[in-house]
Structure 1
Amino acid sequence: MRPFFSVLVALVLVQAALALNLRPVIGILAKPASDDPTPQTSVISASYVKWLEAGGARILVIPYDATHDRLDSIFSQINGIFFTGGGLSLDVGTTYWETANYLFQKAIQATNNGDYFPLFGTCMGFQLLNILASTNHSILSFGFDSYNLPLPLEFTPETATSRMLGKATTPADVLTTLSTKPVTINWHHYGITPDDFYNDRVLPGFYRVLATNADTQGRRFISMVEGRKYPVYGLQWHAERNQYEWGTGEKLDHSVEAVRAVEWVVNYFVQDCRQSGHQLGADLEKTLLIYNFAPTYSDGSLTYSFPASL
């Protein structure tokens, strides 16, 4: 019986691996270059692209001002969405917010219907994911002294049951690095306090809080969340910068331990996206795949810029 059982387990694992999409495509929602309401260029920092590519994904640009019909077409051909950081108004009614909300609702509905679809947000993207899940669009607080601030994560008890950082699945050295070394870099003045999060009518039931931190003045903020039911993940910090940002004055840890820790995060997210069966068509591959664009260099970093008519 034991040899038969071993063969059966092996067959199950092989079938599970074969079911994965080994050509995942992740859409990054481009952000307008400023809050100017007139037509403008949009941008994506290349470090986000490189980080996701390092996890084994191809990257597709999602125009922030795309029509719903176009967004529907894009959504049906990608396997996950990434919301970037960057200073931008997240007020209800802005074009960027409306597009992000439309995509968020589509992802939740898709997963409810058995069409597994992950989402990930960093810094502003983290804040955005909390706003979109909450009924309180004033959940953000201003005035955090957390700019260019590297910190170790302060894990919560919920981390033990996390899909991404559960002790049963995450290498011990990754958890040790994240929790004991200042490898997570923060670049934010806005944030979500634990009190505001837990007092919200929706957020505690939608997300589990994996980590919190305090700014230089001791003011606490939520630094990492994970959807309880849905594959939605958010970091207030920047996991892409340790490997791909080299600006002067940035307090980034480029050590092998830091790189291994942030690689774990992206490898997890891309593997999650491999569970989506959506397939990229030739038209989007020729028009919106990131290979169709070239980044420009400035002060240690690369940035993709896109025309308003993208």
Structure 2
Amino acid sequence: MGFLTRLCLVFACCICCYKAMPTNPSQEAVNDRPVIGVLTQLVSDDVMKPFGRTFIPDSYVNYIESGGSRVMPIRLTFSTAEYENIFKKINGLFFIGGAADLETSDYARVAKIFYRLALEANDAGDFFPIWGTCMGMQLLTVLVAGENLLTDTPAENVALPLNLTAEAVSSRMFQDFPKELLKALTEEPLTGNFHNYGITVQTFQESEKLSGFFSLLSTNVAGNGARFVSTLEGKRYPFYGVQWHPEVNGFQWDARLNLPHSAHAVQLSSLLAQFFVNQGRRSLHKFDTPEEESSSLIYVYKPVYTANFTSYEQAYFF
């Protein structure tokens, strides 16, 4: 057989093999320029009211950015149609801590709109994650249960280890954690708590809506002896909640507060930020133009130095 003939046969074989190679249609697309929307929180402290009606502490912005995302602040004054349009642009939603009525406030009203949109999107195969921290997690339980089930669970200005449940190790949130960090999480005070209310474990277990929707990943004991839910993860939906504050570990430094700053505490904060942003990478929502995207980001606002009258170093006001 001549050289050219052999070459043709090899080439033809390669073509056939190439055509016969299976593709991987289930491979997920990845968005490496995610934008996480952060619902602005109502200003409740009198000393902050001169600066704006709503705000976002800079620590949350830094925390989300440390995971590899940009931040879009979401005001509480828009129409439902405007929020529906914003939803199509962002790749995840973050409910921060603070103080607001979880059923009647504008904060609750807007959160309910986005919660509905996220449920509908995920049901349709349009992946969209939500995270709630402290009051943000409490808000998620109100949205899921359809009622406010919070009770007194005081854990104000205290750092605690987590009592992990059997579901935690296999959870999406913790499954990729190094074993050393998981062990430290149960033994060292790595989680900063600043709350007076929460969901008790008994209430969670007795609520079919909550226990059917969420997996309970960790618990803690409050100052009054109540055992409360401290970490939640949606069973079907990519919704996550922590009663504690992972953002303070690396981005708040008020010496009056029990803020965990150990190597393990910072590692915990970093991994959780990366985890949620990676969830956001699975969302393919995007802005219509680069100009629209740029004008919507937190960078167009200037943070205000607030350390002289609040526990935050800086905050954005709206």
Range of TM-score over shorter length: 0.7 to 0.9
How many residue pairs are counted as aligned between the two chains? 289
Residues 59, 252 of structure 2: 8 Å contact kept? yes
SS in 1 for 2:237: coil
* 1:223 aligned residue (219, 223, 230): 230
Partner of 2:195: 188
State yes or no: 1:289 paired with 2:297. yes
1:85-124 to structure 2, matched below 5 A, reads: 85-91=97-103, 93-124=104-135
TM-score (norm 1): 0.88
Counterpart residue number, 2:70 = 58
Displacement of 1:108 after TM fit?
0.9
Which aligned pairs between 1:231-246 and structure 2 lie closer than 5 A?
231-246=238-253
Amino acid at match of 2:44: S
Q: Which residue of 2 aligns with 1:213?
A: 220
Q: Which runs of 5+ in 2 are unaligned?
A: 1-16, 47-51
1:238 partner amino acid: H
- The residue aligned with 1:147 is 156
C-alpha RMSD of matched pairs (Å): 2.1
2:169 pairs with 1:160: yes
**TM-score, normalised via structure 2 length:** 0.86
1:203 to 205, 210, 216: 210
CA deviation map 1:134-175 (0-9, x unaligned) = 13x131113x32000100000011113311112xx3211221
CA distance in 1, matches of 2:278, 2:145: 27
Corresponding residue number in structure 1 for 2:36: 26
**Following the alignment from structure 2 to structure 1, what is the Cα–Cα distance between the partners of residues 67 and 75?**
23
- CA distance in 2 between counterparts of 1:264 and 1:258 reads 10
| Structure 1 residue ranges, 4+ long, deviating more than 4 angstroms after superposition | none
Structure 1 residue 12 displacement after superposition: 6.0
In 1, distance between residues paired with 2:43 and 2:247? 20
**Structure 1 unmatched ranges of 5 or more:** none
Q: 1:180-228, CA deviations, whole angstroms, 9 ceiling, x for partnerless residues?
A: 1101000000111011111113010100000000023322110000000
- Asked if the contact 2:55/2:315 (under 8 Å) is kept, the reply is yes
Q: Which residue matches 1:280?
A: 287
